[in-house]
Amino acid sequence: MQVKITEKITLNVEVSGHGPAMLLLHGNGEDHHIFDTIAEKLQQHFTLYAVDSREHGSSTKTGITFNYEDLAEDIHLLINQLGLKEVNIVGFSDGGIIALLLGIRQEAYLNKIASLSPNLSPKDWKKKPLQYLEQKYKETKDPAFYLMLNEPNIDPEALKKIQIPSLITAGENDLFYRSMYRTIENQIPDATLKIIKGHDHSSYIIDTDLLYNDFMQFFEDEKSK
């Protein structure tokens, strides 16, 4: 369905399943279909809201430059528009950043967040992936690449404001330095960090249900509601 959140922005949201609310937020250059495989299982326990971010999928494409705070505000407006309470968020990469930003804002509707392969700053990129990103931006001037080269800029101290259970994951061979994930784990009071062995930034997320059991364990108190 199409949900108008502002005068200029409409988000595409695919709703399925039954149970507590769970938002699925994809990464840069993707759409909600990256979660299709795991969603088939999760929808047996949760009402899933699989969202296309602005400029992605079937959501509004304005061509206007945006930042991560804009994306987080979009999801905030969407949740309020839908009247959701006790919301669980599963966000990958950009979606994981959005989850952290909403957690820092201490939004009352949040229940738990799972932030999958996020980063806090452009400084978190490993050297080779960063060089590739810089080259791609030089070739294309794509605003999506510009965003990743300049944001996010999350102060690690701000993570202490996240007062809800938080699952943080990263691939063993992720794009970002392991030390950054340790920082996130240490700064969020109720955080659990899981490193997925043998996987890169996205291979444990896209078109796989690898994290299904981890999600069910993390969100286990939701199953009986």
CATH code of the domain containing 62: 3.40.50.1820
Q: Which residues contact 91 (CB under 8 A, 6 or more apart)?
A: 23, 24, 25, 97, 98, 99, 113, 114, 115, 116, 118
Domains held by the chain: number: 1
Structure tokens at 34: 């990256």
pLDDT score recorded for residue 222: 46
Per-residue pLDDT for the chain (225 aa), expressed as one digit of tens each? 999 999 999 999 999 999 999 999 999 989 999 999 999 999 999 999 999 999 888 999 987 788 999 999 999 999 999 999 999 999 999 999 999 999 999 999 999 999 999 999 999 999 999 999 999 999 998 888 999 999 999 999 999 999 999 999 999 999 999 999 999 999 999 999 999 999 999 999 999 999 999 999 999 864 444
Containing structural domain, residue 22: 2-222
- The residue type of 23 is L
pLDDT score recorded for residue 64: 78
Cα distances (angstroms) measured from residue 106 to each of 52, 84, 166: 23, 15, 13
Written in H, E and C, the secondary structure of the chain is CEEECCCCCEEEEEEEECCCEEEEECCCCCCHHHHHHHHHHHCCCCEEEEEECCCCCCCCCCCCCCCHHHHHHHHHHHHHHHCCCCEEEEEECHHHHHHHHHHHCCCCCEEEEEEECCCCCHHHECHHHHHHHHHHHHHHCCHHHHHHHHCCCCCHHHHHHCCCCEEEEEEEECCECHHHHHHHHHHCCCEEEEEEEEEECCCCCCCCCCCHHHHHHHCHHHCCC
d(CA 27, CA 92): 5
pTM given for the model: 0.95
Residue 208 exposure: Cα atoms within 13 Å on the Cβ side? 10
Strands 166-173 and 87-92: unpaired
pLDDT score recorded for residue 63: 77
pLDDT score recorded for residue 221: 62
d(CA 167, CA 39): 18
- The residue type of 61 is K
